[in-house]
Chains A and B, each alone.
Chain A
Amino acid sequence: MSRELTPRMWLTAFLGIARRETLRFVNQRGRFLAALVRPLVWLFIFAAGFRAVLGLSITPPYQTYVLYEVYVTPGLCAMIQLFNGMQSSLSMVYDRETGAMRTLLVSPFPRWFLLGSKLVAGVIVSIIQVYTFLAIAWFWEVEPPPIGYLTVLPALVLSGMMLGAMGLFLSSAIRHLENFAGVMNFVIFPMFFASTALYPLWRMRESSTLLHDICAINPFTHAVELIRFALYGQFDLLSFLVVTGCLILFFGAAVFMYDPAKGLWARRKGG
């Protein structure tokens, strides 16, 4: 019996992995709600409070003074994707503690493809979350031009892939589920706060040059800016290059770490 992998089989495998991720997501309604409530709390409460404190000047891509809620929305979209990337990383570690990761890796498809499919599946889920968030934000007077909803899609795909790949790479480095809280403190929060999600770069420079520089090299900043510009129908080349570069770097590192001959698995002790 021939067991060559045909293009149709590759597609079947990808769709199967994507279906499992979405099914798991749909089954965990709490997760969907939590993923939505988090940015909404920021938008409704935090942004409303900060609006009075933080006056914003005109900064590209905005052509006029904008409400703080409008400024913070792209950052919250990226936050959804950051949390989603970490969530899939958490599920990878969980899968590894059960046999689910082993069964995935025993598949005859190459590992880069299996990991890549999981990555894309996670991004699809994150994009559904982002659009739901944007729809609710619209009622909160965050109204980007209609074309922006379309042009933001490729940006969301790219930023979601980058943040997901980062999660994938982290998942290979985390040995146990318990270590995950540490990742939250050391990755998610610093990345989010030291970025342009909440305040523009020039404001950061006013308070600290060092903080400004950290924000400027933070990949999350570039994910936020890529989304921000795309949401207003514009393209930010620098952000695009940084996000793409980081995606290649993180995904390459993740594939290396999950390779049986190299990375952590080679040093893992079995029973």
Chain B
Amino acid sequence: MSTAALSIQNVSHKFGRVEALKDVSLSVPRGGFTALLGVNGAGKTTLFSLITRLYNNSSGRIEVAGHDLRLAPGAALARLGVVFQSRALDADLTVAQNLSYHAALHGIGRAQARIRAVEVMTQVGLADRLDARVSALSGGQQRRAEIARALIHRPEILLLDEATVGLDVKSRAEVVELTRALTRDGVSALWATHIMDEIRPEDGLVILHKGRVLAAGSAGEIAAGADLTQTFLRLTGEET
């Protein structure tokens, strides 16, 4: 059994004749914050769709906390929490009703769900908004509530697909900081982004470009003392 929270080995994916992912391998260590950096169209969303089994992966191997996604999809998905780019909460229901629904999707009953809802909403700093309608929350609060939703079944790894899209600078910083705090509590995170500012030298980093992994390691090592943006442009060959 692999010790990584998420392990992807030699995964390729095609849409017709277009190769969206070519031989992608990466691994997210337990309790680690790993950034998946790439411009729009690099293949981040395709990779996430494969990990969440929205598309079937026909090549290579994806393991969530040691569970093969193809052989044991139920066990793998039970350990996965996902924050999608588009919102997944029902705007006209309360946060508690939403959380109870998502807990049910993992087989967690109402009484237990209520306890966990208080727990995860406290974690994301929104304990007092549990009974508010989602539409009454600000953009940043909605994102944090989405993270609470993804945490309700106590996943081992959290996937976040451009979780800060559409947020102002302050809310963005809060959401990144919140995710880092969660990894300190033991949850692993794969953070897909195209924003360099969100990455710190000590973070794990995977650079995805045109469906290929260009570099993987710690952000500090990859940048090797240089500016990450410059390094990224040099690696992707888009340096001016």
> Contact residues of A with B, CB < 8 Å?
3, 5-6, 8-10, 12-13, 15-17, 19-20, 23-24, 27-28, 97-100, 102-110, 114, 259-261, 265-271
Contacts and interface: CB of A to CB of B under 8 A. Distances in A.
Given A24-B93, A108-B73, 17 more contacts: A9-B106, A9-B108, A13-B106, A16-B100, A16-B101, A20-B101, A23-B97, A99-B88, A100-B90, A102-B88, A103-B88, A105-B53, A106-B53, A261-B58, A265-B55, A270-B49, A270-B55
24 contacts: A3-B79, A8-B107, A9-B107, A13-B105, A15-B104, A16-B104, A19-B100, A23-B93, A24-B90, A24-B92, A24-B93, A28-B92, A98-B87, A99-B87, A102-B82, A102-B88, A108-B73, A108-B74, A108-B77, A109-B105, A109-B107, A114-B105, A266-B56, A270-B20
B33 to A, nearest CB: 21
A268 B87 contact: no
A204 to B, nearest CB: 43
Instruction: Pick from A10, A24, A100, A259 the residue with the most CB of B within 10 Å.
Output: A100
B68 to A, nearest CB: 14
B78 A108 contact: yes
A271 B40 contact: yes
Contacts of A259: 56
Contact of A19 (B75, B104, B149): B104
B52 interface: yes
Interface residues of B, number: 44
Contacts of B97: 20, 23
Given A12-B104, A267-B15, A260 B41 contact: no
Interface string B43-86: 01110010011111010000000000000011101111010111
A12 B107 contact: yes
Nearest to B97: A23
Contacts of A17: 101, 104-105
B54 A265 contact: yes
| 4 nearest A-B pairs in the assembled complex, by CB-CB distance | A16-B104, A9-B107, A99-B88, A99-B84
B188 to A, nearest CB: 16
Contact of B102 (A8, A103, A265, A267): A103
Interface in B185-215: none
Nearest to B82: A106
B107 A10 contact: yes
B16 interface: yes
A interface: dominant SS: helix
B86 A97 contact: yes
B166 interface: no
Contacts of B41: 271
Interface of B: 15-16, 18, 20, 40-41, 44-46, 49, 52-56, 58, 73-75, 77-80, 82, 84-88, 90, 92-93, 97, 100-109, 149
B105 A104 contact: yes
Contacts of B45: 270-271
B150 to A, nearest CB: 8
Given A99-B87, A103-B102, A270 B78 contact: no
Given A12-B109, A103-B102, A109 B74 contact: yes
Nearest to B74: A108
Contact of B101 (A6, A19, A106): A19
A23 B87 CA distance: 19
Given A3-B79, A106-B52, A271 B46 contact: yes
B107 A268 contact: no
Nearest to A107: B105
B103 A271 contact: no
B92 to A, nearest CB: 5
B93 A103 contact: no
Given A3-B75, A17-B104, A23-B97, A269 B15 contact: yes
